[in-house]
């Protein structure tokens, strides 16, 4: 795990096997902290042990306010649990809605069993089954990232605005 903590986005070519929520959280945090522009997340319910972490949310916030070109896009299959729970990332997306967008994938993509995070043009974290935390992370895999980003962008085109993201002001 110490090698994962030292990985450099755009440089480290090693593929890290992730076996726990803690390893997924560390890999996600390291990638987002080093991101310069884009984050794409595909998740079933925003994996509370991974994405509802104060450091992770702060790293996303820093990226979002860093530049007007910063773009954080999240495809969220089921928003019920994170919205009811008060997930930090949901609250951040509501406050920074110009930089952070949350959408619901179409019915076909909702059947996709995996989960992934793509950072800029270099890094990715991927789990074949979103229920488990077994997966892989790589901080420099431009060809894999290009493929995952294309899949995400295609799913994004067919997604809809997540109604649960709207804040009601009464």
Q: What is the pLDDT of residues 55-96, one digit of tens each?
A: 999 999 999 999 889 999 999 998 888 888 889 999 999 999
In whole angstroms, give the CA distance from residue 150 to residue 111. 18
CA 10 to chain centre: 17
Considering the segment(s) 2-160 as one domain, its CATH architecture is 2-Layer Sandwich (3.30)
List, for residues 108-156, the tens digit of each pLDDT value.
Answer: 888 889 999 999 999 999 999 999 999 999 999 999 999 999 999 999 9
Q: Where are the domains of the chain?
A: 2-160
Is the overall model pTM greater than 0.95, yes or no?
no
């Amino acid at each position: 795990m110490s090698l994962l903590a030292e990985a450099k986005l755009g440089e480290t070519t090693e593929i890290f096997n992730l076996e726990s929520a803690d390893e997924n959280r560390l890999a996600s945090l390291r990638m987002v902290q080093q991101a310069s522009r884009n984050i794409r997340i595909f998740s079933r319910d925003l994996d509370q042990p991974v994405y509802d972490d104060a450091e992770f949310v702060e790293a996303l916030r820093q990226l979002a306010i860093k530049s007007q070109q910063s773009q954080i896009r999240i495809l969220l299959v089921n928003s019920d649990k994170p919205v009811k729970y008060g997930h930090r990332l949901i609250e951040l997306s509501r406050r920074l809605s110009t930089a952070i967008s949350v959408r619901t994938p179409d019915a076909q993509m909702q059947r996709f069993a995996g989960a992934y995070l793509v950072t800029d043009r270099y890094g990715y974290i991927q789990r074949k089954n979103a229920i488990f935390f077994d997966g892989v992370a790589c901080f420099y895999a431009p060809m894999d990232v290009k493929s995952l980003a294309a899949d995400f962008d295609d799913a994004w085109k067919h997604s809809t605005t997540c109604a649960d993201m709207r804040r009601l002001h009464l």
